[in-house]
Structure 1
């Protein structure tokens, strides 16, 4: 299974740290090219490698960690998704107000799904602030929780396994519709950091 992170901002950088700490190989890409990722790569002990965007978009599991409004441009050059997994780590935020964007009652992940036709999309890694996401997920006998949801049960299982391998405690919220008022920006689970006892 190959993993990639699209985006090198706060969330993308935090995820790269967690992949490196867990010893799970991943590639990372952004719109500025591999040379701009030298700092992230140098801190990963060879676990995370910088690649061109097209190469990262071809991974088995592609984690999208760019601003919500930039998703369409970020995936524009992707080939056929053919059932590959896309992890939506974005939040639909209206700036500068820092409020939920008006999506007409739709889930932001449903909109992301339209940009990656044929992919199995799972929402994850969007509820925890980046600084906390980057930090050690274990505290004594507890693990930091990562909530996830998606319409494909097998894809949810695969992402849940990845979350666990990264050291977090995965909690499955079900389908995108079931998680709409829990996991979308402005919902109760976005912002707080939860711990699950072993």
Structure 2
């Protein structure tokens, strides 16, 4: 599978390492263009490529890994997503916890990404923890997942499991996204392990 990533920071690179170790290819993109990523992709290995944001967004699964103040810019000029999966890994660090009835940050991302099946994931785990081995003697590190489209959510859970993590489904973007939203979510920043029996 080829996976697109909008962003090329620490989490994007950690994701690329884990995805390629599981046998996938990754297209990284950033605002400065593919040429600016040549050193980054060369250190990440032969299965990571630099591309434009449009090229990354054309993949069936795309990870949004940009700073919160760059979300609009990352998504605004992209065409309709046509049912492809957009994994929202962003955190609005300057925002406030959403009150009941107020859209979560991922619901706002879904409004910006026309036609995307948005899955909230990868935002509660730090890049250094994601980059490390998810397997421990006692179990596996957890990745929390929320989303309204069940097939897209299940497919991403499968990808996360391929990488060695344990995926836990929190429900839809409104309820699950609220639990994992940064700031304010009660599961935000919590390092969880699932104990294998």
Would you call these one fold, judging by a TM-score over 0.5?
Answer: yes
Secondary structure at the aligned position of 1:4 is classed as: strand
**Secondary structure of 2:175 counterpart:** helix
Whether contact under 8 Å (1:63, 1:86) holds in the other structure is yes
Q: Distance in 2 between matches of 1:125 and 1:180?
A: 12
State the 1:141 CA deviation.
Answer: 4.4
Gaps of 5+ in 1: 95-99
Residues 36-78 of structure 1: per-residue CA shift (max 9 Å, x gap): 2233312332111111121111111110000122111112232
SS of match in other structure, 1:91: coil
Q: Counterparts in 2 of 1:70-109, with a 5 A limit?
A: 70-94=70-94, 100-101=95-96, 105-109=102-106
Task: Note the alpha carbon deviations across 1:112-139, whole angstroms, 9 max, x for none.
Answer: 0111111100000000111111111111
Distance (Å, rounded) in 2 between the aligned partners of 1:102 and 1:17: 31
Stretch of structure 1 that moved more, 18-27 or 56-65: 18-27
The residue aligned with 1:144 is 141
Greater Cα shift, 187-196 or 153-162: 187-196
TM-score (norm 1): 0.90
Asked if 1:9 is matched to 2:4, the reply is: no
Q: Which residue is 1:97 aligned to? A: none
1:13 to 1:110, Cα distance in 2 relative to 1, 3 A: same
Matched, 1:33 2:33: yes
Secondary structure (helix, strand or coil) at the match of 2:118 reads strand
Tell me the secondary structure at the aligned position of residue 63 of structure 2: strand
Q: Partner of 1:139: helix, strand, or coil?
A: coil
Q: Distance in 1 between matches of 2:178 and 2:87?
A: 19
CA distance in 2 between partners of 1:102 and 1:141 (Å): 33
TM-score, with normalisation over the residues of structure 2?
Answer: 0.91
Q: Secondary structure at the match of 1:93?
A: coil
Contact conserved, 2:97 with 2:185, CA < 8 A, in 1? Answer: no
Between the aligned partners of 2:63 and 2:53, the Cα distance in structure 1 is 12
| Aligned partners of 1:58 and 1:78 also within 8 Å | no
- The CA deviation string for residues 79-105 of structure 1, in whole angstroms up to 9 with x for no partner, is 2211111000001111xxxxx436663
User: What is the RMSD computed on CA atoms of the aligned residues?
Assistant: 1.6
8 A contact 1:85–1:121 mirrored in 2: yes
1:134 to 131, 141, 159: 131
The reply to whether residue 156 of structure 1 matches residue 145 of structure 2 is no
- 1:108-127 correspondence runs (5 A): 108-127=105-124
